[in-house]
Amino acid sequence: MKIFKTKQTLQTYQKKLREAKQRIALVPTMGALHEGHLSLIKEAQQIADVVVCSIFVNPTQFNDPSDLEKYPRPEENDLQLLQAIGCDVAFLPTVEEMYPKKEESWHLDLGSLEQVWEGEKRPGHFQGVTQIVYKLFRLVEPDVACFGQKDFQQVMVIQRLIDVKNLSIVIHICPTVRSEEGLALSSRNIRLSEAGKHKALTLYRSLSHIKRYFKIRKLNTLQKEAFDILQQEDEVEVEYLAICETRSLQEIERIDPTKKHVALLVAWVEGVRLIDNMLLD
């Protein structure tokens, strides 16, 4: 596995790959890798000749400085995992490398995606996400970029970035990796105790209920039933639960058979904010 820490060394290597007409896949991560991330690498290996995994904790997408400070950075373990799975390239730049100017102006028109759900709860977050992903896209010039379904709104935001900037990059959405019981794997749920992980399983049960009865029950009834399932566990605090159209993420009042739909859910368990979703069609 090649390891690069500067843009120049990565670009020199990428130039050789381009000259050899290699198909390149990019898997952008913030490190603290787990099975969910590794599943993205595995899928990327199936659809590309070379897989580049970036590890960078991006400061511009954090609203809370303490959250940025607490974010885990087990670099040595991450590299061992990438090596073991056969990743081709790891890119681990510093903040100074990616943001040579301290105050960079960036704004992308994200439409309503920036006003709903995670956009509303975390102002400026998706501007930070698109800023760093665009830098990585320009640097790596991948043919395909792999993202996990778990952060579904983020995937739609990245698709918007590709559309607005007219980039010839295909997004490959990889299914959410879950524990045997159904808990969506994430770097945040590592902070849960075993009891907390058990309580968090109610998120999966609630979303599964919505998927099972999506075309059978009235939407308001279905949403109430799903919320009641969440309330069965003490100390699970629901932030939002919504059934939306996939591209705009606007909440629906009726099912449109010409469109796709997704259930979005965010809840707090043991002080940890858990994000999950399920495609319904």
Give the residue numbers marked as catalytic. Answer: 37
Q: How many helices (H) and strands (E) does the chain have?
A: 10, 9
The DSSP-derived string for 75-97 is HHHHHHHHHHHT-SEEE---HHH
Q: Any known ligand binding at 271?
A: no
- Distant-in-sequence, close-in-space partners of 59: CB < 8 Å, separation ≥ 6: 68, 95, 99, 128
Q: Any known ligand binding at 168?
A: no
Q: Any known ligand binding at 154?
A: yes
Q: Any known ligand binding at 45?
A: no
Q: Any known ligand binding at 31?
A: yes
Following CA atoms 255, 230, 148, 249 in sequence, which dihedral angle do they give, to the nearest 10 degrees? 30
Q: Any known ligand binding at 212?
A: no
Cα separation, 43 vs 126, whole angstroms: 25
Q: Any known ligand binding at 148?
A: yes
Q: Any known ligand binding at 138?
A: no
Q: Any known ligand binding at 30?
A: yes
Q: Given the DSSP bridges, would you call strands 24-29 and 144-148 parallel, antiparallel or unpaired? A: parallel
Per the annotation, binding residues for beta-alanine are 61
Per the annotation, binding residues are 30-37, 61, 148-151, 154, 177, 185-188
Per the annotation, binding residues for (R)-pantoate are 61, 154
Per the annotation, binding residues for ATP are 30-37, 148-151, 177, 185-188
